C-alpha cells in the first residue's frame, strides 16, 4: 500500500460510521464508503457516500460539504521529506501516533539477538554472524552497534541515518549524534556494554 493510499484509508476510517460493514476489513470498508478521491499538492478530497458518514464527521479536521448523497471532506496536506522518505502531514497530524519504522525495528532486534549470541559464546565474530545469517559482513558490522540504542528514539530517525556513521556506545554521545542529525536535543546518561 502506497503513502497516499495509507493516508486516505486512515482519514476515511475516521469519518465512516463504526456500524458500517463492521465485519469487513478496513480497506474493504473504505472502498465501499468512498465514491471518489482527488489528490493535489495542497489537499486530499474524499467523497463519501452520505449513508456511510459518521455523525461525528464534522468534529474531524477538514472542510466538510454535505450534499444529499455525498459528504465531501477536503483535507489540507503538507508534503515533507524526512530522512529521504516522503511524508504526508494532514490536519491534526502532530497529535497522531508516529508510524513504526519496521526496517529500524527489525535492524535493532537483529542486532540485539546477535549481541546476545556473542555474549553467550554462540557466535564469536561478525564473520560468524554473517555466515550463519547469510549476510554481508559489512552490513552486520553496521547493524551490530544498534544493539546499544537506548531509550525512545525520535520519530524522524531512520535506519539509513543511523548506519551512515559509527554509532557511539555512550548514551550522551548518542544524544549528541542525534542532535547533529537534527533529531533530538536531550536524554539520559549511561553506558551500553558491548559483548
Q: Per mean pLDDT, which range of 44-58, 135-149, 172-186 is the poorest? A: 172-186
| pLDDT in the model for residue 2 | 75
| pLDDT in the model for residue 30 | 92
Long-range CB contacts (within 8 A, 24+) of 147-154: 147/108, 147/111, 147/112, 147/114, 147/115, 147/192, 147/194, 148/174, 148/192, 148/194, 149/108, 149/174, 150/174, 150/187, 150/188, 150/190, 150/192, 151/187, 151/188, 153/104, 153/178, 154/178, 154/183, 154/184
| pLDDT in the model for residue 92 | 60
* Average pLDDT, rounded, for the chain: 80
Q: How confident is the model at residue 152 (pLDDT cuts 50, 70, 90)?
A: low
Decide if pLDDT at 97 tops 70: no
Give Rg (Cα) of the chain.
22
Chain centroid to CA 132:
30
| pLDDT in the model for residue 163 | 81
Pseudo-torsion of CA 178, 180, 184, 186, nearest 10°? 90
Decide if pLDDT at 161 tops 80: no
Residue (of 64, 62, 66, 65) closest to 7 by Cα position: 62
C-alpha separations of 190 from 96, 110, 120, 141, 170 in Å: 30, 22, 23, 23, 6
Grid coordinates of 20: 458500517
Percent of the chain at pLDDT > 70 equals: 79
Decide if pLDDT at 95 tops 50: no
Delimit the domains of the chain by residue range.
3-95, 102-180
Compute the distance between CA of residue 152 and CA of residue 129 in angstroms, rounded to an integer: 27
- Would you tell me how many other CB atoms lie within 10 Å of the CB of residue 153? 19
Compute the distance between CA of residue 48 and CA of residue 57 in angstroms, rounded to an integer: 11
Q: At what angle do helices 26-33 and 3-15 cross, to 10 degrees?
A: 80
Decide if pLDDT at 137 tops 60: yes
Decide if pLDDT at 96 tops 60: no
Decide if pLDDT at 131 tops 80: yes
**Confidence (pTM):** 0.46
Decide if pLDDT at 22 tops 90: no
Amino acid at each position: 500500500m502506497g503513502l497516499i493510499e495509507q493516508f486516505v484509508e486512515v482519514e476515511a476510517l475516521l469519518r465512516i460510521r463504526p456500524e458500517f460493514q463492521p465485519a469487513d476489513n478496513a480497506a474493504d470498508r473504505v472502498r465501499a464508503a468512498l465514491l471518489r478521491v482527488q489528490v493535489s499538492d495542497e489537499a486530499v478530497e474524499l467523497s463519501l457516500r452520505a449513508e456511510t458518514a459518521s455523525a461525528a464527521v464534522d468534529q474531524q479536521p477538514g472542510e466538510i460539504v454535505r450534499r444529499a448523497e455525498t459528504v465531501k471532506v477536503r483535507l489540507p496536506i503538507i508534503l515533507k521529506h524526512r530522512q529521504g522518505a516522503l511524508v504526508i502531514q494532514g490536519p491534526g497530524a502532530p497529535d497522531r501516533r508516529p508510524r513504526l519504522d519496521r526496517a529500524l525495528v527489525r535492524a535493532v532486534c537483529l542486532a540485539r539477538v546477535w549481541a546476545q549470541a556473542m555474549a553467550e559464546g554462540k557466535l564469536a565474530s561478525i564473520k560468524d554472524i554473517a555466515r550463519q545469517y547469510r549476510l554481508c559482513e559489512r552490513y552486520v558490522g553496521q547493524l551490530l552497534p544498534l544493539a546499544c540504542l537506548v531509550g525512545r528514539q525520535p520519530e524522524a530517525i531512520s535506519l539509513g541515518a543511523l548506519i551512515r556513521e559509527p554509532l557511539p556506545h555512550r548514551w550522551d554521545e548518542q544524544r549528541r549524534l542525534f542532535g547533529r542529525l537534527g533529531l533530538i536535543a536531550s536524554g539520559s546518561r549511561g553506558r551500553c556494554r558491548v559483548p
